[in-house]
Amino acid sequence: MEKTSVEMASHSQILVEEKSSVRILTLNKPKQLNALNFDMISQLLQLFLAYEEDPSVNLVILKGQGRAFCAGGDFPPVVRDIVRGKWRLGADFFFEQYTLNYVMATHSKPQISILNGIVMGGGAGVSVHGRYRVATENTVFAMPETALGLFPDVGASYFLSRLPGFFGEYVGLTGARLDGAEMLACGLATHFVPSTEREATQPDDWISTTIGALKKASPASLKICLRSVSSHNASHANDGKRADFVYYFQIREGRYQGVGQCLIREYRMVCHVMKGDISKDLVEGCRAIIIDKDRNPKWKPCRLEEMKDGMVEKYFKKVEEEEGWEDLKLPTRKNLPAFAISKL
């Protein structure tokens, strides 16, 4: 006889249900669009680690309550800590979140994410790394971080860099919204459950929308995404002269790295963003978009040309001047199946 039990009360932020060898996890903050806070992330991490060691668990299903799967991370508390001069508390949040992303990406048990509704930012981090992602006609996917003064993180430099053509760059820079069919077409979703037909957007609308999104985004965030480096990283001139500068996306850099390396790099970047020595755009972006909602952020620097290459490079270095700061330390992964090993 099939066993069904709800292990946690209905007011819990994560509901856990057992059905034979399946565990169904439901993000349960519908009024906040299931935005992930530190406690939710920690609980998910504990559950996924426990399921890996439990031979009675063969499949994990993750879904969201209400009209969102997960709209991302719960940013206001992080911003309040930054304003109070306690950005290291925000670093703890991202440390835990990136560790969860890594464990999900390298998990030995299959994960199915039911993406029925909004999937943004951190919501992508807890789903796209899993083996199966089921989109519906209600799915709205986006990585809107550049509009908030951040950058596409939660391992986005890994999964966006592996999309066909320039899909990853487009999604990462503009924060463009994709529907379920578009997610399936570019590989962000593995399955689609059809319900209605939807009228396509006209090409001219797409162009104007894309340009508008780029103009609204933080110049610092765009430059981090579109990182300028000398081409000697790719090749060295025989005469020893410095080669011309070339541009490539930090997303593209992830094409040659495992998910762990991508998350370690992103953790350095997000710590610099929160520390605010180079730009304080995260606080301003969250104020304008999430807190005050005037949608009129005052970016500093306010123009792309004011964000110099040397400023960009600082985001990719260790936070060495901060006492006690360390790079992201990811857990050792053992006895993994081939599909998980391929991501290391």
Domain borders along the chain are: 11-203+243-328
Least confident of 30-39, 163-172, 199-208, 245-254: 245-254
pLDDT the model gives residue 91 = 97
H-helix or E-strand spanning residue 186: helix 180-186
pLDDT the model gives residue 226 = 66
Question: Cα(72)–Cα(78) distance, rounded to whole angstroms?
Answer: 13
Contact 161, 172 (CB under 8 A): no
Q: Which residues contact 289 (CB under 8 A, 6 or more apart)?
A: 147, 148, 295, 297
Q: How confident is the model at residue 227 (pLDDT cuts 50, 70, 90)?
A: low
Contact 90, 81 (CB under 8 A): yes
Proportion of the chain above pLDDT 70, given as a percent: 86
3-state helix, strand, coil in the chain (%, to 5): 40, 15, 40
Question: Cα(131)–Cα(24) distance, rounded to whole angstroms?
Answer: 15
Architecture of domain 11-203+243-328: Alpha-Beta Complex (3.90)
Residue-wise pLDDT tens digits, 168-194: 999 999 999 999 999 999 999 999 987
Nearest to 158 by CA among 251, 265, 271, 269: 251
The mean pLDDT value of the chain amounts to 87
Q: With 90 as the cut, is the pLDDT of residue 46 above it? A: yes
Proportion of the chain above pLDDT 90, given as a percent: 77
Residue-wise pLDDT tens digits, 121-174: 999 999 999 999 999 999 999 999 999 999 999 999 999 999 998 899 999 999
